[in-house]
């Protein structure tokens, strides 16, 4: 089985929305995430590009910026 890995929570959520099966999700000792997906049909790379060009990515960037504002005070 071919797998696709990403540490990006937002991309992982997008892949789930697109019907890609999650194999595992874990938090590493450094505090980062690691998500593994079943990519046997080789769709994840193209979906990652679709994510970057989507409104979902734009929304996520705004959420991140708002968090930076809140936590910098």
Structure confidence at residue 68 (pLDDT): 95
- Asked whether the CA dihedral 59, 65, 68, 70 is positive or negative, the reply is negative
Share of the chain above pLDDT 90, in %: 96
Convert the pLDDT of each residue in 4-32 to its tens digit.
999 999 999 999 999 999 999 999 999 99
The CATH number of whichever domain residue 13 belongs to comes to 3.30.70
Indicate the number of domains in the chain.
Answer: 1
Average confidence score pLDDT of the chain: 96
Structure confidence at residue 30 (pLDDT): 94
Structure confidence at residue 63 (pLDDT): 94
What is the arithmetic mean of pLDDT over 34-44? 97
Q: Residue 52: give the domain boundaries.
A: 3-71
């Amino acid at each position: 089985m071919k797998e696709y890995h990403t540490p990006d929570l937002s991309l992982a959520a997008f892949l789930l929305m697109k019907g890609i099966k999650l194999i595992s999700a874990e938090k590493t000792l450094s505090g980062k995430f690691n998500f593994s997906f079943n990519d046997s049909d080789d769709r994840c790379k193209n979906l990652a590009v679709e994510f970057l060009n989507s409104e979902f990515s734009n929304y996520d960037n705004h959420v991140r910026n708002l968090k930076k504002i809140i936590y910098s005070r």
